[in-house]
């Protein structure tokens, strides 16, 4: 099999494409011939060694895969040869094969291409968890989404719009803002303006202050946009691509604002059954055409380093998939 191996944490260009023996099949597992693997911002943090969890080296990055079942381990039921399935594998996705527990694979609905199916799970489940379980968002509320042309932000735009929220999307390029509009954003803001200008435009677009701020970006932009939140509104802490914001407590006190943490990954690990329910809810809405994961930009497996670099350099509108 071919796989992208990270031998030491550091720059993306140290990743190597290697030919290695296939992993043995184990009881209760299936072997997938991987047709697409999602690339997430977090994969880049793993490789660079800048994530809070540092995997022991060597390791194969990649969390989300889609593939065809090509081998069944002993005792597997409910999954058949040739099935098109998706799985959250944690690590090991940047490869042309994966051995996954049969209880962890999910049949891919016909409405999704392999690329869409390999790239929606982390982004959409984070957004779904944030808005339904954490924020308890209500139809009619306004929500400012930062990084709205990226994976996590765009999913929040799609989910928020589908749930009847009034979504205001901030992104740095017209291509990203157009993508956000295509997923239901009613207003867009150019996030390459100063943080103060973004804040003022968000306040104006929401009639005085947003009910929710969905923030996968953080840094100075997140910190400033806290001030765009209206009475009893919530700041959803999702990610820190621009740095960890230092939220001033006086600004939380003012207007009775609330700050809500969103840690989907760890929560999903602790609550697998509830996470399965969330995935089923999201897949049902995808099946009804009410949620529309974007078709990703595809890169060859050999170009994994380039894919990670383009994502980190903010060159990607939407999502990225590796196609082995």
Ligand X SMILES: NC(=O)c1ccc[n+]([C@@H]2O[C@H](COP(=O)([O-])OP(=O)(O)OC[C@H]3O[C@@H](n4cnc5c(N)ncnc54)[C@H](OP(=O)(O)O)[C@@H]3O)[C@@H](O)[C@H]2O)c1
**Minimum distance from CB of 254 to ligand X (Å)?**
25
- Work out which of 38, 147, 222, 296 binds ligand X, going by CB under 6 A: 147
Residue 26 or 246 with smaller CB distance to ligand X: 246
The residue number with the shortest CB distance to ligand X is 150
Bridge partners (DSSP) of residue 47 are none
- By CB under 6 A, how many residues form the interface with ligand X? 28
Residue 162's nearest CA partner among 280, 281, 284, 290 is: 290
Q: Which of 172, 251, 260, 306 binds ligand X (CB under 6 A)?
A: 172
Bridge partners, residue 300, by sequence: 323
Q: Should residue 239 be labelled a site residue for ligand X when binding is judged by CB under 6 A?
A: yes
Cβ–Cβ < 8 Å for 151, 63: no
| Residues 117/27, Cβ–Cβ less than 8 Å | no
The residues in 31-60 that bind ligand X, with binding defined as CB under 6 A, are 40-42
CB-side exposure of 257: number of CA atoms within 13 Å?
A: 25
Which residues, numbered 106-145, are part of the site for ligand X (CB under 6 A)?
Answer: 122, 126
The single residue among 108, 112, 145, 238 that binds ligand X, judged by CB under 6 A, is 238
Buried b (16+ CB within 10 A) or exposed e, 268-279: beeeeeebeebb
Q: Does 152 bind ligand X (CB under 6 A)?
A: yes
The angle at the Cα of 176, spanning 161 to 85, to the nearest 5 degrees, equals: 70
CB of 152 to ligand X, least distance (A): 3
**CB atoms closer than 10 angstroms to residue 100:** 24
Tell the smallest beta-carbon distance from residue 98 to ligand X (Å). Answer: 20
Least distance from ligand X to the Cβ atom of residue 45, Å: 6
**Position 15 contacts ligand X (CB under 6 A):** no
Pairing state between β 229-237 and 258-261: parallel
Verify binding: residue 265, ligand X, rule CB under 6 A. yes
Distances (CA, A) of 96 to 7, 33, 43, 101, 230: 18, 6, 17, 17, 48
In the complex, the residues that contact ligand X under the rule CB under 6 A are 40-42, 122, 126, 147, 149-153, 171-172, 176, 191, 216-217, 238-242, 262-265, 311, 314
């Amino acid at each position: 099999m071919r796989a992208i191996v990270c031998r030491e944490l550091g720059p993306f260009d140290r990743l190597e494409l290697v030919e290695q023996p296939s992993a043995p099949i184990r009881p209760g597992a299936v072997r997938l011939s991987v047709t697409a693997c999602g690339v997430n911002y977090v994969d880049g943090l793993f490789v660079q060694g800048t994530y809070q969890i540092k995997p022991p080296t060597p390791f194969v990055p990649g969390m989300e895969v889609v593939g065809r079942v090509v081998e069944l381990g002993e005792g597997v039921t409910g999954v058949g040869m040739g099935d098109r399935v998706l799985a959250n594998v944690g690590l090991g996705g940047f490869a042309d094969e994966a051995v996954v527990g049969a209880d962890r694979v999910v049949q891919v609905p016909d409405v999704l291409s392999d690329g869409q199916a390999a790239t929606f799970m982390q982004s959409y489940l984070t957004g779904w968890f944030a808005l339904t379980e954490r924020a308890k968002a209500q139809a009619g509320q306004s929500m400012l989404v930062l990084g709205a042309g990226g994976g996590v932000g765009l999913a929040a735009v799609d989910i928020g719009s589908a749930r009847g929220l009034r979504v205001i999307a901030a992104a740095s390029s017209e291509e990203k803002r157009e993508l956000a509009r295509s997923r239901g954003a009613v207003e867009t803001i150019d996030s390459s303006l100063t943080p103060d200008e973004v804040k003022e435009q968000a306040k104006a677009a929401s009639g005085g202050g947003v009910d929710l701020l969905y923030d996968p970006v953080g840094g100075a932009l997140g910190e400033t946009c806290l001030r765009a939140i209206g009475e009893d509104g919530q700041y959803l802490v999702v990610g820190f691509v621009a740095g960890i914001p230092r939220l001033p407590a006086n600004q939380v006190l003012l207007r009775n604002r609330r700050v809500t943490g969103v840690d989907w990954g760890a929560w999903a690990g602790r609550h697998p059954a509830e996470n399965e329910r969330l995935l089923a809810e999201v897949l049902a809405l995808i099946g009804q055409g009410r949620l529309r994961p974007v078709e990703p930009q595809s890169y060859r497996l050999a170009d994994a380093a380039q894919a990670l670099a383009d994502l980190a350099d903010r060159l990607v509108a939407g999502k990225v998939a590796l196609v082995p």
